[in-house]
Amino acid sequence: MSQTVRRMLIASLTAALLLLPAAGGTAEPPHRKAAHPAAEAQQVIPPKTVYWLSASTQNGFGLGGKPPSTGDLMKMAVGGGRGGAQKLLSLDLGSSLPPAGPPQASHLIPPTMNMGKALALRSPRPVVASQAPSRQPEPEEHRDYERPKGRILLFWGCGETAHANQPVVFDFSKIAAGQPPPNLFVGEAIRVANPPSAATWPTFGFWPNDDRGSRQSVPADASLVGAHRVAGNYTPDISFTLDQDWMGALNLVQTKLPSGALQLEWNGLPEATGHFVQLMGAARNAEGGSDVVFWSSSETQTFLSGLSDYIPPGEAARLVERRRLLPPSQTRCAVPKEVMTAVQGGLISLVAHGPEQDIVFPPRPQDPHTPWVQEWAVKARYVSRTGAMAGMNMPAGAHGDAARCAQRPSTGSLIGGALGGSLGGALGGMLSKPAKPEGCP
């Protein structure tokens, strides 16, 4: 018998012996395979049409939108920042379906909104190349650059006293010397989804727009709860029901503590998933320049991070755990005394993040082998915001001084001068609020 055949027989006998049942037991292979194979991932085909409703409740004014006008300040002075909450709504429809003619779409609203029968979704007018203004760039040597100047002082964390090693200072004068400030936007990325736009979808419709109905504010008694329908020539018929209304209004109360810190307190909202507070202001420094002072309630360094944007509930829960957002149960936070000493004028913005309602048609098939071919998807998201001038709680009877105390811009010009350029212009525009003449609170 050859050695090869002998080895084969030995191997076969060994395998047979391993398969024999042991005494008092049952036969079992030495390496058992998994009883259940890995679950097969269901194929998901994204929708060709998406529709977003962004509903925000705004009380007072904050840092997230247009700069407060004199009228905004008067309303705040008269109402003390309370009772004047506005309901704001943005509608965005994106579709990859080709329109049958000029794009047209409407949102048929429930009677509870008290805004008529429908809201017209307008599409941006295409820009014809021949009509686009032609502008030759200036030669590099003839451009007049505005040199950035000033500093940014970053603080963060609730408490009467600032955390150790604060503030972190960024000197913008070094930019002109080719030394950009490092680590200004440090921290983990915030997972925030963006609504449809003309840049992301072939056909796009939005509200408010230049339609006559868009010029009217959302009524105070409007309600989103009920049956909605979107129809048009570039979208399938979208019918859905919302069971979540606008969030309640935030009321902010400020108290100057003996230590010099500023105590912030607000009412809790049952729908809230997390809170975020920030203060942005300006001051003249000892060198005669301007400082931008930024503070946030986050327990880690942050600057213009997106924590004031719409944040999904799952992401809000993660950020609460990471201590980037305050938990929904927390309704108090102190601005450290070092911040209040450094700033001469600023705005406080408070955000309560809210729930989301997601609707996809058709629903997901239960059979994982059946692809989920989505036709359309709707997202309704909610947030509540409020804002006020730092350290100011206007008493209900202080109407007479309101006009006198809302005249001269100061904080915006300080910030614009500190940073210079486009960043300074943007921040200066957001914070172009009146100065406080002598005798004003």
Going by C-beta distance under 8 Å and a sequence separation of 6 or more, which residues neighbour residue 157? 163, 166, 297, 298, 299, 336
| Contact predicate 352/384, CB 8 Å | yes
**pLDDT tens, residue by residue, 49-107:** 999 999 999 998 644 444 444 444 444 444 333 347 899 999 999 999 999 999 999 99
Give the mean model confidence (pLDDT) for residues 34-57: 84
Residues in Cβ contact with 273 at an 8 Å cutoff, skipping those fewer than 6 apart: 311, 313, 316, 317, 320, 328, 353, 354, 355
Of 295, 371, 284, whose CA–CA distance to 340 is shortest? 295
Q: Is residue 11 in some structural domain?
A: no
- Strand 44-45 to 372-373 pairing: parallel
pLDDT (average), residues 395-401? 37
Q: What is the 8-class DSSP label of residue 48?
A: S
What residue numbers bound the domain in which 225 lies? 44-123+145-430
- For residue 202, tell me if it sits in a domain: yes
More confidently predicted of 434 and 245 = 245
Q: How confident is the model at residue 39 (pLDDT cuts 50, 70, 90)?
A: low
Please state the φ and ψ torsions of residue 348, each to the nearest 5 degrees: -110, 135
Percent of the chain whose pLDDT exceeds 70: 64
- Burial of 209 (C-beta count, 10 Å sphere; 0-12/13-18/19+): middle
Q: Would you say the C-alpha torsion 196, 201, 207, 209 has a positive or negative sign?
A: positive
Confidence (pLDDT) at 152: 85
pLDDT over 50 (residue 290): yes
CB burial of 421-432 (b: ≥16 within 10 Å; e: otherwise) equals eebbeebbebbb
Check: pTM over 0.85? Answer yes or no.
no
On whether residue 282 sits in a domain, the answer given is yes
Could you give the C-alpha distances from 420 to 128, 278, 280, in angstroms and in order?
A: 34, 22, 16
pLDDT in tens, 179-188: 655 665 566 6
- pLDDT band, very low/low/confident/very high, at 422 (cuts 50, 70, 90): very low
What pLDDT score was predicted for residue 57?
A: 96
* pLDDT above 70: residue 405: no
Q: Hey, what are 91's tokens?
A: 């509608």
Helix (H, G, I), strand (E, B) or coil at 67: coil
Please, what's the largest Cα pairwise distance for the chain?
117
Q: What was the pLDDT predicted at 134? A: 55
Asked whether residue 18 is assigned to any structural domain, the reply reads no
Mean predicted confidence (pLDDT) in 224-249: 97
Cis before 336 (ω within 30): no
Residue written as token pair 């409740």: 57
Q: How many residues does the chain have?
A: 441
Is residue 130 in some structural domain? no
Q: How far apart are CA 113 and CA 91, in angstroms?
A: 14
Q: Who's near 97: CB < 8 A, 6+ residues apart?
A: 48, 49, 203, 234, 235, 236
The reported pLDDT for the residue numbered 189 is 73
The pLDDT tens digits of the residues spanning 245-277 come to: 999 999 999 999 999 999 999 999 999 999 999
DSSP symbol at 65: S
For residue 417, what pLDDT band results from cuts at 50, 70 and 90? Answer: very low
Residue 37 lies in a domain: no
CB 354 within 8 A of CB 28: no
Within-domain flag for 136 = no
In contact, 84 and 117? CB cutoff 8 Å: no
- 122 near 205, Cβ under 8 Å? yes
d(CA 326, CA 161): 18
More reliable by pLDDT, 440 or 170: 170
Higher pLDDT, 385 or 412: 385
Q: Average per-residue pLDDT in the chain? A: 76
CB distance 77 to 402 below 8 Å: yes
38 located within any domain: no
Number of domains in the chain: 1
Buried b / exposed e over 355-366, threshold 16 CB at 10 Å, is bbbebbbeeeee
Of the ranges 16-25, 267-276, 295-304, the best mean pLDDT one? 267-276
| CA-atom Rg of the chain in angstroms | 30
Phi–psi pair at 279, nearest 5 degrees:
-130, 130
